[in-house]
Structure formats: C-alpha cells, structure tokens
Amino acid sequence: MTYDYDLFIMGAGSAGAAAAKKAASLGLRVAIAEQEALGGTCLNRGCIPKKLIVYAADFALHNKFATDYGWSKISSHFDWTQFIHSVHKHIDSINRSYQENLQKSGITLLRGHATLVDAHTIKVDQRQVTADKILIAVGARPFIPDIPGIEYAITSREMFHLPYLPKRLAIIGGGYIGVEFSSMMNALGCRVTVVDTDETILKGFDDDIRQSLQESLSQRGIKFINNSTATHIKHYEEGLLLTVSGKYKKTIAADSILVATGRAPNTQNLDLDRAQVKMGEKGAIEVDEYSRTSQENIFAVGDCTNRLQLTPVAKSEAVAFVNTVFANKPQTVNYGDVPSAVFARPEIASIGMTENQAREKFGDSVKCYCDRFQPLMSQFACSEEQTIIKVVVEGESERVIGVHMLGEHAADIVQCLGVAFRKGITKQDLDSAIGIHPTSAEEFLTLN
C-alpha cells in the first residue's frame, strides 16, 4: 500500500522536531502536526522562559553582594511587564527559526489537533492523511489536583503570562517546578510559601542535597510547610486563601497560587483506542525499549510515555527511534546515566544513584565522599552560602555510581563529570586528575 508519508509525527515539541529532522535527513517523507506553538513545553512554557527568569533573579541576588565588591549602592526596580514582554519576543524568534528549519528540511507542517483514525490514518482537524509509521510525541500537561477552588490557581503555563509580579505567592508542590519558581520569585521580591506532602522537598534527589537546599532556601526567606496537603482555595476581596491540612493546619493568604504537583501524559483526545494503542498508569502510553507501542507501526517518545520526563531524554529517544526503525541501527536509551538539575539558587545537580539507592542495591560495599565548603565569592561577600559535593562509590575499585552537588554552576560541573561517569570512572581516576584553581569543580578531585 502507498502512504502519503513515510513518517507522521504527532507533536512538534523537542522530541517531535528532533525525530522529524533526523528522519528527513535520511530522505524520508515526513509530516508533523502541531496545534500550538512550535517547540512544545520546553521552549514556550518550560525550560527556556524559566531559565530566563532565573537569570533575571540572579541580578537581584548579585546586587546584594555588589557593595562588598566595591560597587556603590544604587536603587533598582524590576519591571516584570517589560521582562515578560522580552521573554515572549525571544521565544517568538525561536518559534520562527523552528518553522524555517522544518521548511528547509522538506518537512510538511500541518497545523491543528491530530487524532488517530486507525493504525495508518491520522486526522488533523478536518484533513486526513496516511503514513507508514506514526510517532506520538505529544508531551505532558500540568497535573491539576481535584480540590475545591482549584480554578483560582494557575500552573507553570500561566506563570509566564502573569500581568504583574505577585507580592504573595503560594506554591503547591515541592518538586523541581515548585522549587525553581520558589527560588526565582523570592529573589524578585515575592513572599513565597511552599506546601509539600513530604518531609523534605525534591523527593528522588540525594537526602543530603535536598535537605541542604531546603535549609538554604529557608534562610533566604522562603517558608516551607512540609508533611501537609492543600485542601481548599477560596477567593476573597484581597486575594486568595489556601487551606492546608496534615502535620500543619494553616490558612495562607496569597495573591497567586501556583499548582506544581507534577505532570501527566498529554494523551487525552487522541483516539488511541481506534489504533489499539494501549495506555498504562496515569494515561502514559506503554512502549518497549525501542519506543514501540502495542501497535507495531506506531511509536511514542518523550513525556507521553512512562519514562523520564526530561527534554534531553525525549530528544535522545526520538533519535534512537529513527535510527532503529529507518537507519537499521537498533538503539536504546540508557536511563541510568542521565544527569538532572534544579535551577534554584543555590543550584543542584545529580547523576547516578543517591546514597540510599546505592546502599539498597550494594549494601556495605558503598562508600560516600562528601565535602562542604564556602565558595570564594561568598567568602569575600560575607555570606554563609555553602557548596556541597558528594561522590558515591562501590566496591574495592571504588567505581563512581553517583555524583551530587549543591552550589554555583552545579549543572555545568555535573554535566561534564557525566561524560566520565558513563565511562565507568573510579575514585582513583578523580584523585589523579589535575583541576583548575580556584574553582568549585576542582574539589571533586581532592575529596578525602
């Protein structure tokens, strides 16, 4: 049978665009459908605009140190409206670049909502096309808890469209989204309260790192209400009231309430059942190690599956899919060697196992090397900010199985160590390496 396209992709986010360009480079006939802005969550309402806010907040943090470095005091004012306008303008330029690159690659872009008609037929609004292979890359959406008054809250999507900077911000959820927004909005002058169901924020990260980050953020003025659950939101004349129950029973007054309770696969209204595509827990599409669904010619990558919800992972899955299916180069993704970071201030980053995970798997053969020190910038500026580095090793060879850091440039440092990590480095390899002085990264090479 002759199809309109060799590959049809549902979703033009990071994963979909990566798969489209890779497939087009092999000479395939490729079409991609998108109903919103090109680039998906990461570009439009996630990684990129969020990192730009982090940079904006950094100016406020560095201004506190300025007089210690010889700068005279100056009055400054942050214009949220002007800043957000600049963010959107920058994102629009990247959107245009996305579209131009798709056109240059010979990829057909169909605007509209794509649904499955059958295993080889896709409907985009009122148009139907056919494809030999179909890739679902529709990403995820914010998970909204079912509590009274939740309609008054916003998600990370709306944070980038706030008309003004709230004076009081309550955040429901202590995951990476909630923690990052708490840090940057606090630096911009908001009074921030975070409600989390766990004892400590950032479940899944190493305990020493997450505990230290929570303590550091608390010292900066962020209030944490742990072991507690948001149960009700009420609108009143002066703003919003958030009721909390659990270990602490409180009512929090806020101008805005951010829901940051995780993300759910964006698989609603795709008519997956028409193509016999099975879904698992929380609406995630079930796939095998090669991203194949229950329908042999339909594949899924990225946040709509039940794997790691990280942009670089989604892109790697997309490229691996194309190599496997079209380039005759079977390829899988190693999820155990994926670095991750939380762009709070201070910043944290990790790769590999936490100490608890390592001890559960390897027992007494695990050893940890950890150090706390005050970085040079903080020493001169009379700040008590601490950097923490931690290396988890296993066995007589002391093979490195986990690297964790809290402090300035943590993401860049752990990212670079991640390359060596994948090669199976040992503690001796770190000890014998020569560092650059004075840097925080060199401390990884002098751990005792």
Has 196 been labeled as part of a binding site?
A: no
Rounded to whole angstroms, how far apart are CA atoms 284 and 15? 16
Nearest-10 Cα torsion for 114, 296, 289, 13: -20
Q: Tell whether residue 51 is among the known ligand binding residues.
A: yes
> For residues 229 and 244, is the Cβ–Cβ distance under 8 A?
yes
Q: Can you tell me the distance from the alpha carbon of 367 to that of 448, in angstroms, rounded to the nearest whole number?
A: 11
**283 among the known binding-site residues?**
no
97, amino acid identity: S
Choice among 62, 90, 235, 437 that is catalytic: 437
Q: Which residues contact 249 (CB under 8 A, 6 or more apart)?
A: none
- 77 catalytic residue (yes or no): no
Has 174 been labeled as part of a binding site? yes
The reply to whether 178 sits in an annotated binding site is yes
Scan for tokens 């101008």, then name that residue: 255
- 395 annotated ligand binder: no
CB 62 within 8 A of CB 345: no
What are the two backbone dihedrals, phi and then psi, of residue 375, each rounded to the nearest 5 degrees? Answer: -65, 155
Task: Characterize 125-136 residue by residue with b for buried, 16 or more Cβ atoms within 10 angstroms of its Cβ, and e for exposed.
Answer: eeeebbbbbbbb
Structure tokens belonging to residue 6 = 């060799």
Q: Is 27 annotated as a binding residue?
A: no
176 marked among binding-site residues: yes
Residue 40 counted as an annotated binding residue: no
Separation CA 418–CA 26 (nearest Å):
30
The annotated binding site for NAD(+) is made up of 173-180, 262
The residues carrying an active-site annotation are 437
The annotated binding site for FAD is made up of 51, 303
The annotated binding site is made up of 51, 173-180, 262, 303
